[in-house]
Every structure is written in structure tokens, then in C-alpha cells.
Structure 1
Amino acid sequence: MAILDRRKFYINGAWVDPATPNDLGVINPATEEVFATISMGSEADVDAAVAAARAAFASYSRTSVDDRIALLESILAVYKRRYDEFATTITQEMGAPATLSKNAQAAVGVGHLEGFLKGLKEIQFRSTNFNGDTILREPIGVCGLITPWNWPMNQIVLKVLPALAAGCTMVLKPSELTPIDAMLYAEVLHEAGVPAGVFNLVNGEGPVVGAALSRHPQVDMMSFTGSTRGGTAVARDGAATVKRVTLELGGKSPNLVFADTDVEAAVKRGVRHCFQNTGQSCNAPTRMLVERSAYDQAVEVAKATAEATEVGDPALEGSHIGPLVSQLQFDRVQTLIQAAIDEGARLVAGGPGKPDGRNVGYFVKPTVFADVRNDMRIAQEEVFGPVLAMIPFDTEEEAIEIANDTPYGLAAYIQTGDPERAGRVSTQLRAGMVHINGEDMGYGSPFGGYKMSGLGREGGHFGIEDFLEVKVVSRPK
């Protein structure tokens, strides 16, 4: 198979060569083979992209809301036409199985855009305060956008679209592990009529391109999704020029299973959700807290569900899970599985190593640990693999205490047959999103978390507001 040549960057409305050649192979994690070549950018490439964005801001920031609505609608039409290309690309570059790529990974490019269209129509860009002063909401400026590999289109559209809706211009640095779908999205934006310089794309490493964006004096805002380590680096780099920084970071989301629910259904649902996308989701319910009277049953159901989870070729349709994204991620997951064993957690399914028959590719065994203590590494650190930690509790109060005993606060899940309990517990969980009995959030709702899970919210009008400044104009005498 011919290797794709995607060495160019998208700057000022055109595909241009990097300032200095610096090739990197993009690996298919199921085959461990290079299928594309990209360039890794430099500070000079960032300077060129930021200059283009700065020049374009003067005119794009003054476009009307109706103009920006029409632009988003044009993007939606082009994206829908090229939808299958995104699904295929995501499967190839990050290993998401074909069915997941088509039904979820690529689908967010439609769902979030529709959510932003509705949110854009809700925002009052000009209003009158109670005292008669005028309140204006204006685009913040040039934005640096850094996105991860695990839900690549999800994070790209959650940053690019609200920036466009707000009237901002931008430079995107996607993950170097999954750059091809980002470059495909640049083609969509170009075809949809995004003006030259409004959107720019430079590939590269976080410590090089990401840091150059974060430090750049002509960048007004940074929006980052990724690891806590990466997020704190962006915040530190941005502090020197007092940039606005929004961060969507990690999670160690608790799933509280009470005995008054359908335990078998709740546990099956929770295990499958934990394993979805091979566990590579920041909001995955990776800690299952189970009321002690139902705990033994829950462990048996989790064990059976994990053992029934198939690991297979991501190019094929089906409900199986695929590989992890890279050798580095595979090694990290193996280290944390071994740490759980060493610390005394009870292994009930899966474990170290690759599944039988999967010698090539970064495949891992769907793994469940029982009798986990919340101070173990497996309960405190984000694994980012198909690994579930099960913890028993005796009372509602203890469940809440364990759930909140984490540096993260992204999502939480409650399984109960008592609506009053669901409402009561949800208000006490220190998390930005609480899912009740398997229900997901709708497009346009705010995505984000408390504590070390980040700053700001993404999606709908909440996501657009993060890209806006507030100005007050006094009432004329």
C-alpha cells in the first residue's frame, strides 16, 4: 500500500511546505505499519500561522452572526458529504473499530455542529444591563487549539466550531498520532468557504509547536485537551502573556451502583462503557463503586462481561474493541495493570499481556480488578485502557466520599431505582457531568469538569462563550 504524503501545513488558505523538513511516520496501531508521512512543525511555522490568523481577525471578527451561521451550515453540508472519509481515517490512525468510528467518532462532527448552531442563536451579543449600560460580547482574538488523539474529531470540532461561531481566528495543532483526520477537516473548512487565515493548521510536538503557540505574544487564548501534565505546561507558558486558557484534562470517573437498581443490567452497561474506545476516553466510568449487598453479584457480572468482550481488527464492523493507539500507551497500561496486581487488587478478568492470537498491534486484554482500595494507583491514576476497578461500599455517604476522593472531577455515573436518591447524590458529587442510569448528555450541553479535570466548558452556547470577551459601554448622558 502506498504511503500517504501529508507533509504540508494549511496556512492562510493554502497548503504550504514546512519551514524546515522534519518527517514523521503515522502508524496504524492495529498493524504497527506506517501508512502516512507528515511534517513536524517548528516555531517558524507557528509564527507564519499566527501572522495569518492575526491578519484575518480584523475582518472576520466583524462578520455578522447571520454570516457565521451560514458558514457553519456550509461546513455541516460539506462534512456530511465526506462523512465516510472521516470514519475510515479515524479507524486507520487510532484504531477505533469501524462501527464505532462511523456511529460515534465521526458522528460528533455533525452532532456538535448542530449543537453550536443552536447555541449561537441563543447568545445575546448585544444586550442592555439592568442599569442601562450596554453589554457587548466580542471575539477574544487569535486562538491556539491543541487537540488529543483519543476522540480526534470530537475535540477538533469542540474547539474550531465555537471559535468560528464567536468570530475568532485560530491555529490548530492536532495530535501527531492522529493528524490525518485534522488535515481532512481543513479540506472541509476550505471547501465550505472559511476565509483565508481564519483557520490554520500546523502539525508537530507539544513541547515544540504547542509551546510556541502557548508562549506566542500574538495568541490571545489557548484551548487545550489532553493530559494534566500537558495542560499545566500550556497554562504555565500562557501565563507570561496573561492568556485565557481553557483546559479539558483527565478523569477517574466513579460509577455508583446501588442495590436498588437492576444490578446485572447496570454492571453490564458500566463495563461496556468503560471498555468503549478501548478505554481511551477521559470520561470513562473506570471506578465501579458497588453497594456491598450486591457486590459479589456485580463482580461475577463484570467478569462475564469482560470475558465476552471481543478484541479484533478495527477495520471490521462489529462491537469488538480495537488496539490502543501506540506502543507508549500500551506500555503505560501494562505498567498500571501490574501495579494493581502488586498492590493486592484481585484480578478477575484479563491481566497483563496481549490477547491470544494478537501478537501484532497494540492490543490489550479487557481487564477487571475487584477488591480495589481507593488509594491504589489503579483507582487514582487515569489508565486510558480497558481496565475497570471495582470497590465495595456500605452506605450512600461512603459511596459519595469514595467517589469524590480523586484529584479529578470530570464525570460521574449513578445507577439507582430511586429517583430521589439520584437527585440527592448527584448534587453531592464533585463532577462536571452526572449521568443517571445510563443516560448520556445531549449535544449542546456543557462538557467539562471540576478540580484537575480542567477549566471551562465545551459544547453549545457554553463553549462559544469561552471564546468571547465581555465589554461594557456606559449609557450616554
Structure 2
Amino acid sequence: MPAQPQLLDQLPPDRLYLDGRWTAPRTSTPIDVEDPATGELLGRVAAAGPEDVHEAVLAAERAFPAWAALEPGERADHLDALRAAMADRAADLAELVTAELGTPIRFSRAVQVGLPLRVLESTSALLRDPGFAAPERLGHSLVLRDPVGVVGGITPWNYPLHQAVAKIAGAFAAGCPVVLKPSGLTPLSALALADLADRAGLLPGVLNVVPGGGRVVGEALVRHPGVAMVSFTGSTTAGARVAALAGERLARVALELGGKSASVVLPGADLARAVRRTVDSCLLNAGQTCTAQTRLLVRHDRYAEAVDLAVAASQRYRPGDPTDPETRLGPLVSADHRRTVTGHIARAVHDGARLAVDGRDAAGPDGRGHYCGPTVVVDADPAAAIAQQEVFGPVLTVLPYRDEEEAVHIANGTPYGLAGAVWAEDDDTATAVARRLRTGQVDINGAPFNPVAPFGGYGHSGYGRELGPHGITEFQQLKAVQLPL
């Protein structure tokens, strides 16, 4: 495995990115970044403290008037320049994400880097559409959309580049500067993004990056009076904390939280294809995906067949070196997270479920790293923890149902509502069931992800939307101007 990704050479190891400059932090303890495939130290980055957060917010406040005053097409020019800079270093960015997260290099190239490039392109196109930017008329009122102000963006470790771009693309397009706090597990991607934005000529203060822990840096950002809105992606528990703190000062919040998505296979569907694609969704990024389809619902008379198909499909995901283009399953992000995932599996067995596939003994190609192999849980109660709680690992639970009513009841029977899938003999039948699912996105018969559709959840999966036109308006506030009759 390569000792050091090329982009690390151009990132100052002891600096934060504030106000268009690489700045020494007020703190002295760095963040150690680990390679999860080996357990070895990959690099160190500067950790921000509350004073650094304050300086970052002040820089964003100074940048706000000029950035908000730009015409939509001018902001689109900046997004295009950032996209071009990223595209020029796409291979290096993919290598960096693989190094700090452990996601297989093929997936890093196609999704971890490929998806944010598509998001920037589609957001720029929206800004250049005269119809999207035009004011709305309602009777004798002109409805304007003003940028909300400085945005505090808090992103997770599982899609470190995409989650950052999803937030800054919408915020930038709306006219808002961003103070970004990436996860301490994967801060390198965010710092590389800042470096590329700087090289692309982004105005000073429009993007500021302050790595650090949630309790110190995250809470300082959420509590700061200069932050008009917080956009948070992460766990439901942390999201509730963010909402409570922001609520103390009536700041706006958008939350994209956990999920326990169901893939509902209706009678008449192509069972083999549905199971294979559900397994693919579940094991994507080693199961560390909030939209992962981790519950497979199949009618009882085909349950045994579905289990056999799921077991067979899971065997295509053998743990391996994430830098190898043939690898489909990399490590989990950390030793702590591996213990959490294997703890969920152990509890499932304790609660009476059976493991058709048990991946807890999986190891990397050289015996190192934080690996967990594919795991298929069967004979679980739909109310059991394994069918209710987000595992965030390569664990699929297969559940039987008697009829459509029970299938919908089980699918809607968790606190979450982020994503889901329906498989049927025809799209109309699948869509009818999709309408009954209490979730923010539903894939019909294997439909692909759409980066301009609104992305967000119901219930404990949060509120607010990212991506596309809805992802821009999330960062705007309405003003009604009454015109004389």
C-alpha cells in the first residue's frame, strides 16, 4: 500500500484554512489520522479550538456581503473553477479518500470523487438557469430569496469529500459563506478541498476549514452567534444535540441523520436481481452509508430462497486491500467503529437471530486493519435491535412478510425514514407502495441515485434537504415585497 497519498505533500500539516490563508491554530495538539486498512499513522493535521472557530466565523462574516452580492452566474463561475481544479486532481483525491477512510479505490474514483464533481456541475447549471434565479410573483407581491448568512457545515467521515461539497455547493450557490468542520477521522479530504478552492481563486473567507472534535469545535460552531444556519450530517444522537444548541439562539438547522432503509421485494419482482442489488446497497462503502438498504423484506413463501441468494451475493464482497482496483470491501473506519458493528451482530444472536453469514472474523490481506466481512442476519424479530437500529456496517437483515400491508408496516416500523427501495413486476405497482413508505427517497426497481433530487429524511433521519434546487433554497430565506396596485 502506498505510504503517503500525493496530495498530502501540498497540505500544511500544522495549519488551518481561514480567510483564504493557511493559519497556525491556537491549539497545540494535532489530530492523528489513521489508515484503517493497516492501523498505521497516515498523517497529522492541525486541530482547531474555539478561538479558531471564532476567527473563521468572523472571516466568513466579512466575506458575506461581497459574496451575496455576486450575480448567480458569477457564483457559478466559482463553482466551475472549483470543479475544474478537483477534476484535474481527481485521481489524487480518490487516493486520499481511500487512504484515510479505507473505501476501495474503484468506489473512491466513481463515487467519493465522481459524485461531488456531478454535484458541482449540476449546481452551477441551476445558477445559470434564468428561470431558477428569477423572482417569484404572487399577486402584487414580489417574492425574493435572500441568503441566510454564514453557514456552519458539520460533515461525517463516511463520505468526507462528497458531504463537504454537498453543503458548500448549495450554500455557495445561495450566496452563503461556509465554516466547515470535517470529522476528525477523515479531515484530509476537507483540507485538500480547501487547497483546491484556494488555487481555483475562491474569494477569501468564503470557505474556512476547522477540523476538530464535535464537543469542542462542533459545539463552538453551533453556538456562535455569527452562524446563521447549521447544516449537519451525522448520527441521530449528535443531530439532536446540534438542534438543541442551535435552538437556544433560534438559529436555523438542517439535519441529515441515520437510516435503517428497507428494500421491499413484492411478488412478481425479479427476486434474484432485487436481492443482489440490495446486497450491493447494503455493503457499499463497507456498509458505512446512511442510505444503505440494510433490511431486505421478502414474502414468506420465498424467504428461504431470498436468504440463499443473499448469502451467495455477499460472497462477492471479500475483504481486501482498498488500493487494489479489484477489491469491493475495504475496512471499517476505526477500531472503535469495528467494535460497535460487531457488538450489534453479537446482540442480534443474543436476541435470538441466526447468522447465515458471520463476518466478524474477517481480516485484511496481511492480517491488519479494522475489517468486518459481510454478515447476513436471519430469523430476527422486526422489533429486535438489529432490525431497528442503524449498524453502519456490512450487515443485512432479511425479514419475511405475509402480505403487502405487513410489508409496509415493517418498512415503516423504525424511527428512521431516510431511504428505501421497492421491487415489483412493474413500475406502477412499485410506485404505489413507494408512496406509502415514510421515507425521504425511494428507489423503484433499481433506479440510480439522482444528484439533483432533494436528499433528506423523515423522523429520526432528520429534516431539511440537500442537492439540486431544494439544496440551494435550504440556505435561503424568503422576503415578500408588496408592490403598489
The interval holding the TM-score normalised by the smaller chain is over 0.9
For 2:73, which of 62, 66, 72 is the aligned residue? 66
The superposition leaves residues 24-75 of structure 1 with CA deviations (integer Å, 9 ceiling, x where unpaired) of: 2100000101111012211000010001001111211111112111111111
**2:53 maps to 1:46:** yes
CA-based RMSD: 1.5
The partner residue of 2:209 within 174, 191, 201 is 201
Q: What is the SS of the residue equivalent to 1:259?
A: coil
Could you tell me how far apart the structure 2 residues matched to 1:319 and 1:403 are? Answer: 31
Give, in angstroms, the shift of residue 348 of structure 1: 0.4
Superposed, which structure 2 residues align to 1:30-41 within 5 Å?
Answer: 30-41=37-48
TM-score by length of 2: 0.96
CA distance, structure 1, for counterparts of residue 126 and residue 462 of structure 2:
22
How far did residue 358 of structure 1 move?
Answer: 5.7
286, 289, 295: which is aligned to 2:294? Answer: 286
Q: Would the alpha carbon gap of residues 277 and 83 (structure 1) be closer, same or farther in structure 2, given more than 3 Å must change?
A: same
Q: Structure 1 CA distance, aligned partners of 2:136 and 2:267? A: 51
The aligned counterpart of 2:257 is 249
The Cα of 1:224 is off from its aligned counterpart by 0.3
Residue 315 of structure 2 is matched in structure 1 by 307
How many angstroms apart in 1 are the aligned matches of 2:89 and 2:363?
Answer: 35
Q: CA deviation at 1:103?
A: 1.3
CA distance in 2, matches of 1:341, 1:357: 27
Unaligned runs of 5+ in 2: none
Q: Alpha-carbon deviation of 1:241?
A: 1.4
Q: Kindly indicate whether residue 99 of structure 2 is the aligned counterpart of residue 99 of structure 1.
A: no
Question: Alignment partner of 1:452: what SS?
Answer: helix
Cα distance, 1:379 vs structure 2: 0.5
Q: What is the distance in 2 between the residues matched to 1:424 and 1:132?
A: 39
Residue pair 1:307, 1:349 contacting (<8 A) in 2 also = no
Q: Does 1:75 align with 2:82?
A: yes
1:227-277 Cα deviation digits (max 9, x unpaired): 011111111111121111000000000001123111112111111221111
Q: In the alignment, which of 443, 459, 464 is matched to residue 451 of structure 1?
A: 459
Counterpart position of 1:440 = 448
Structure 1: which amino acid aligns with 2:436? Q
> Does residue 379 of structure 1 match 2:387?
yes
Q: Is the 8 A contact 1:13 1:190 kept in 2?
A: yes
Per-residue Cα deviation, 1:70-102 (whole angstroms, up to 9, x for no partner): 111111111111111110000000000111111
For residues 164-222 of structure 1, what are the alpha-carbon distances to aligned partners after superposition, in whole Å with 9 as ceiling and x for unaligned?
Answer: 11111110000111111111100111111110111111110011111001000111000
For residues 290-325 of structure 1, give each alpha carbon's deviation from its aligned partner in whole angstroms, at most 9, with x where no partner exists: 111211111111112223321100011114200000
Deviation at 1:126, TM superposition (A): 4.7
Give me the whole-angstrom Cα distance separating, in 2, the residues matched to 1:345 and 1:334. Answer: 14
* Structure 2 contact 170–472 (Cα < 8 Å) conserved: yes
Q: Which amino acid letter does the alignment assign opposite residue 338 of structure 2?
A: F
> How far 1:120 moved relative to its partner?
2.5
Corresponding residue for residue 115 of structure 1: 122
Tell me what 1:340 maps to.
Answer: 348
Q: Which residue of 1 aligns with 2:273?
A: 265
Structure 2 counterpart SS, 1:10: strand
Distance (Å, rounded) in 2 between the aligned partners of 1:364 and 1:124: 46
Asked if 1:26 corresponds to 2:33, the answer is yes
- Paired with 1:95 and 1:17, the residues of 2 have a C-alpha distance of 29
TM-score for the superposition, normalised by structure 1 = 0.97
The answer as to whether partners of 1:143 and 1:222 remain within 8 angstroms in 2 is yes
**Which stretch of the first structure deviates more once superposed, 113-122 or 68-77?**
113-122
Residue identity in the other structure for 1:65: P
Matched residue type, 1:202: V
- From 454, 468, 477, the equivalent of 1:469 is 477
Residue in structure 2 matched with residue 140 of structure 1 by the alignment: 148
**8 Å Cα contact 1:252-1:382 kept in structure 2:** yes
Q: Secondary structure at the match of 1:114?
A: helix
Q: Which amino acid aligns with 2:372?
A: V
Question: Whole-Å Cα distance in 2 between the matches of residues 100 and 419 of structure 1?
Answer: 29
**Distance (Å, rounded) in 2 between the aligned partners of 1:67 and 1:431:** 36
The aligned amino acid for 1:456 is G
CA–CA distance in structure 1, aligned partners of residues 200 and 46 of structure 2: 25
Q: Is the 8 A contact 1:97 1:321 kept in 2?
A: yes
- Counterpart CA distance in 1 for 2:136 and 2:455 is 29
CA contact (8 A) 1:79 1:109 kept: no
CA contact (8 A) 1:126 1:135 kept: no
Give the conservation status (yes or no) of the 8 Å contact 1:347–1:369: yes
Using the TM superposition, name which of 254-263 and 176-185 deviates more: 254-263
AA aligned to 1:179 is P
Cα 1:29–1:331 change in 2 (3 A) is: same
Number of corresponding residues: 477
Where do 1:356-435 residues align within 5 Å? 359-435=367-443
Partner Cα distance (1:369, 1:57) in 2: 51
Distance 1:104 1:21 in 2: 35
The whole-number CA distance in structure 2 between the counterparts of 1:248 and 1:431 is: 12
**Distance of 1:57 and 1:351 partners within structure 2:** 50
Asked if structure 2 preserves the Cα contact closer than 8 Å seen for 1:120 and 1:461, the reply is: no
2:238 is the alignment partner of 1:234? no
For 1:276, what is the secondary structure of its paired residue? helix
Change in Cα spacing, 1:91 to 1:351, as seen in structure 2 (3 Å) is: closer
Residue identity opposite 2:258 in structure 1: G
Contact 1:306 1:350 (C-alpha < 8 Å) held by counterparts:
no
AA at the equivalent of 1:25 = D
**Percentage of pairs with the same residue:** 40
